[in-house]
A and B are shown apart, each in its own frame.
Chain A
Amino acid sequence: MAVSRLSYLSIRALDLAASEKHYTQVVGLRVTGRAPGQVYLQAHESQDHHCIILNASDRAGLDHVGFKVNDPNDLNEAEVVAKEWGLKTRRVAAGVVMGQGEGLSIELPSGHIFNLFYHAEKVGYSYGMKDPDIILDDLEGIWPVTHLDHTLLAGNDVDKTAKFLREALDFNLTETIHGPDGQPFAFFMTVSNTIHNVAFAPGPPNSLHHIAFYVSDRADVIRRVDMLKHRKVATFDYGISRHGVAGVTTVYFHDPSGNRNEFQCGVYEASNVRDKIPPIVWAGENIPRGVFYYESAVLANFFEVVT
């Protein structure tokens, strides 16, 4: 069948304790597992085991990205097609990543590792799965993020990478940013009805541009910017903004290792019926408005800084 969701990002942390504090107290995730050199975290309103894995490391950046599939046989099918495309694959035994079943790792032309897997252990929503009182106590003054929404990755050969994901794994292309030569250089793709789950832009191999967490209300995004400023967490120069791309209300900030995070709220729907709706195109003078709608200007360090 198909890839059913962006499940988690396994990232590197220079100081594991500082990163854990950031993802619990600033982002608002909960710790769901620990292993030597690793911390597993999940959003309060997500039911699988984790959406972030922190790995103690001597550098920042990405280890790998996890996507779920909705049929156990998808791993075999994806393995065959990845080999046809000349991509390296590797089986990951159940339990190697805590809380999940067997996986298939595919090394993409962009240098990123996508780990496909079928089974995730359920931790349930923080307030329980039966007759829940939906309001949580003891929060850090703001309503928690509900789930991991998307990631923007930077790498080489992103056009080939996007082509593989579209043609082999049925990702749906919803928006593109085009260069002066008229060719697309950034690709926004979805496996669901939300407008993007993963996007690719050119950059050094296997790089991370940002990890986006979903916030249900724009008012909560505003309060979160206030809180980031209050806690002296560095935000992107614009503070709060809106992307023309996907029409989301957004703020960017960094974790202690320098990995970029985003809080975002936006409900634009992707048609999700393959190839029925052409992608939105951002080109030329439209690009600044597409990237930062209010300011309609892109600061150079926005695309250049990756981990």
Chain B
Amino acid sequence: MKNIITLFSFILIITSCDVVEGPYLIDDGGITPVDTSSNTYVKKVLIEDFTGHTCPNCPAAARELEAIHDVYGTQIIGMALHVSTGFASPWTGAGKFEYDFRTKWGTDWDNFFDISNSGLPRGMVNRIGYPNEHKLGKNEWLAAVITELEKGIDFGIRIASDISGGNGTITINTELLNDVNGDYKLVVCLTESNIINWQKDGQTENEFYEHNHALRTVLLDESLSTSSSYTAGNKFERAITVSLSSLEQYNIDYSENTAINGSGNAGGWVAENMSVVAYIYNTITKEIVQVEEAHLTN
């Protein structure tokens, strides 16, 4: 009997609680972002934020992404993919939400990873967890980021962009830091920030919402090497010729001719606000093992 009383007392004691008093914000943010400007390679994380301009809860996810970026600095790279007919179609003739942020690649990835069917906003952090646990709500991103940042890196990526007047070359250099086996692909994208356009935000419709990291185009998605065996010190270089006007027209045509309820209103790119995002992923697990970002124009 004494043992039982002791046991119940023990359980009662451990079912305790913490009451947190304000201020709740830790003054120094609790963390010092890693300096990624030096020459050494640093583990970085891609957060793909699947969103839509008529998705009222999506700006909260964008703010969460920015908040994570504020804490971890340039180790966090964001990408906003406007997807789904319901939340991303343009409202042609409505005087609002008329722009079409969708892209062929965003739609393809949405279909492949089955994101928007589970509701927006939703995202992937380095695409970890595929195929069953990769679709993360915005409040799950932080824990996934912490896990990812603790991982080591096997690939180093350097981006050199030489774009002038909308034309030029982007060069991606990849360096093996360790011996690695497996099939990997290199993907190179362009994203654009500071796009002022309509966005539903909770119960309001904001005409002057700032859209950041919006996926514009994919320049490359191909195997890093024909070999499945990589040795530390291996280096690969890819040079990609870029014509922004052609790429922009491709998106306009996609919106006008292919996208459901599309309108062709998908232009107006501003090169100065664009970034190059390059990442390497494992073709089996789909995990993005390293990602890098650089301004398109210097």
Bound together: no
Interface residues of A (CB under 8 A from B): none
